[in-house]
Structures are given as C-alpha cells and as structure tokens.
C-alpha cells in the first residue's frame, strides 16, 4: 500500500513515467509475391516484428494480405486503428474508390499524419543478404519501429510504401487522393553522398545506424523518390512534406528524398555513412540520490533505491 501511494505521488510530480500506450497498427499488404520474391510470409515478418518489439508493450499490429479491390474498405468498416500502413508495391491498381474513401475517412477523423517511404518493398524480400528482415543489426526492423511510432505518437497516421517507377500505381492512387500531386516517382541508385536530415527515424524508440540502412538500400539500387513540398489535401488544407533522408545517385549529384513525412525533421543531420546510432533511444531515470531526495520530501524514506535505466530495444 505504501509503495502504491509513493508511486502515485511521484507519478503526479512527473517523477515516474506514465504507462506507454499500445498502438494499434493495420499492415495492409497489396503487394504481389512477384514469383516468390515477396511472399506473404516475408511481408508479415515486418508487422510481427512491431508486435513483438519491447515485449509487445508498444504495438499491436494486424497483418492482412489482399489483392482484391474493396477489401480494405470492408475491413476498415468494422475495425479501428491508430496507424494504417499501405504496403503497396505493384504495377497495376488494386485499390478502388471505396478503398480510397475509407482511407479518406480515416484521415478526416484526425489521423492524418503521413509517412511516405520509397524503399519499403525491399525491407523483406528474397533478393540479397541485406534484404533478409530484420536486417543488419536489426536496422530494417528498428527503422520500421521508429517510423510507425513517429506516426502513432502524434495521434494517428498513414504509412505509404512503394518501389521504383512502374510499381507505384496502387499507392499513388491513394496518396494522390489524399494530397493531390504528392506521389512517388522515378528510380534511384544510392551513393555515399547523403544524410538523414533528422534523428527521429534513427532513435525514437530503437537504435539504427545510418550505414546499415545505406548498405541495405545499396543492395537493391531501385528505390522510388518520395514527394516533398507543400500540397493541398482533399479537405482543402495545406500540408508540407519534409524529407527525412536525402541521398544522391552519385557523389556530387542532386540529392533525392527516399522518405518524407508531414512533420519536420528534428535532431539535426546525420551522415548516411555514419556507423553509429545517433544518441540513444529511451532515457535515464533519476539517480539514487535524486530518488532519495524525492522520497524524503514525502517522509517516506524506507530503504536504498537502486539505479535503474530504461531498457533500450
């Protein structure tokens, strides 16, 4: 009882962190298997990683694979999520008007953060050692954790992912319906000339070394260019998409965005070749002396408190 009173008092003062919310995520896979290169079993590894992350305390991800137009709308009619991920890399449009309207309804309800990722397809495919999920040092898995968390912690979101020119039809149908003109384009072949423009996608919840991501992208040099700039959504609001990473096709060439978001980068730029995680995710709880002073302030000193640190996934 004394411990519960103490914990409640410290929580009221901000000394103890509140319990983290568990975010619900729909991972909707409309990507064909392309002759066994991207089978459902590999695509599902990504949302399964989200659900298992941090002992299951952060995400509850639901994986659905469908190549039938209208099935996304039917699913969303009876299910609610904090974040929708559209894993949609294909050479023909599968989503239909009902699917687009369902995503518009989600967006209009206030869950309107966007994340455009032009390299999502290669994250878990049968192609090279670097494309075996969750990647070198769990880099591909942890990048996904940070991306989805960045959206979920803002109150909602839509994560759109595709690949290079010729495989952008389905996802561009949805993205253009939300933000006119905000579509994927082109094809890239990453060089060592680039940077993450902020650190949030590298350390918001899990550590990611940029060099590991570069090696992953370079193993399949065919990512799409993510849209950047200011667009008008279907509600009439201006939305700015900021680049989270810029990489040139060759050293000295123009830098292209692989990932863009509706929230500005934070934390400063990090070189794309940096082998280290920028900072560390999580935080440090107060030192023993600080705990003691807090407890003494309540007249509840009852024993030594051991130093604890928040675990880093």
Residue ranges of the domains in the chain? 1-17+285-313, 21-281
Q: Which two tokens stand for residue 168?
A: 């952008």
Contacts of 171 (CB under 8 A, 6+ apart): 86, 88, 89, 160, 161, 162, 184
Other beta carbons within 10 angstroms of residue 101's beta carbon come to: 13
pLDDT at residue number 20 = 57
pLDDT at residue number 280 = 61
Record the pTM: 0.84
- 313 residues of the chain, pLDDT tens digit each: 433 333 443 334 444 344 457 999 999 999 999 999 999 999 999 999 999 999 999 999 999 999 999 999 999 999 999 999 999 999 999 999 999 999 999 999 999 999 999 999 999 999 999 999 999 999 999 999 999 999 999 999 999 999 999 999 999 999 999 999 999 999 999 999 999 999 999 999 999 999 999 999 999 988 999 999 999 999 999 999 999 999 999 999 999 999 999 999 999 999 999 999 998 654 322 233 332 333 233 332 333 322 222 222 2
Helix H or strand E encompassing 284? none
């Amino acid at each position: 009882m004394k411990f519960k009173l103490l914990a409640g008092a410290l929580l009221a003062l901000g000394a103890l962190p509140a319990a983290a919310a568990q975010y619900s995520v729909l991972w909707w896979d409309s990507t064909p298997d392309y002759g066994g290169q991207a089978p459902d079993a590999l695509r599902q590894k990504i949302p399964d990683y989200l659900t298992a992350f941090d002992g299951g305390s952060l995400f509850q991800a639901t994986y659905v694979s469908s190549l039938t137009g209208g099935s996304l709308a039917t699913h969303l009619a009876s299910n609610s999520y904090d974040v929708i991920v559209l894993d949609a890399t294909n050479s023909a449009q599968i989503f239909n008007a009902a699917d687009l309207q369902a995503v518009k309804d989600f967006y209009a309800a206030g869950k309107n953060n966007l994340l455009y990722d032009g390299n999502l397809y290669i994250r878990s495919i049968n192609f090279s050692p670097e494309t075996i999920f969750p990647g070198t040092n769990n880099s591909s898995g942890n990048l996904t954790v940070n991306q989805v968390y960045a959206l979920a912690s803002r109150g909602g979101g839509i994560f759109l992912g595709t690949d290079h020119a010729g495989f952008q039809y389905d996802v561009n149908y949805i993205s253009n319906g939300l933000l006119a003109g905000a579509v994927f384009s082109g094809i890239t072949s990453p060089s060592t000339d680039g940077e993450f423009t902020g650190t949030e996608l590298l350390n918001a919840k899990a550590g990611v070394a940029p060099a590991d991501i570069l090696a992953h992208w370079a193993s399949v040099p065919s990512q799409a260019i993510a849209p950047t700039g200011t667009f008008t959504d279907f509600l009439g609001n201006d939305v700015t998409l900021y680049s989270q990473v810029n990489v040139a096709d060759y050293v000295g060439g123009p830098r292209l965005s692989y990932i863009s978001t509706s929230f500005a980068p934070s934390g400063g730029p990090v070189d794309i070749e940096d082998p280290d995680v920028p900072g560390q995710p999580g935080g440090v709880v107060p030192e023993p002396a600080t705990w003691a002073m807090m407890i003494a302030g309540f007249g509840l000193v009852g024993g030594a408190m051991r130093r604890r640190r928040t675990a880093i996934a």
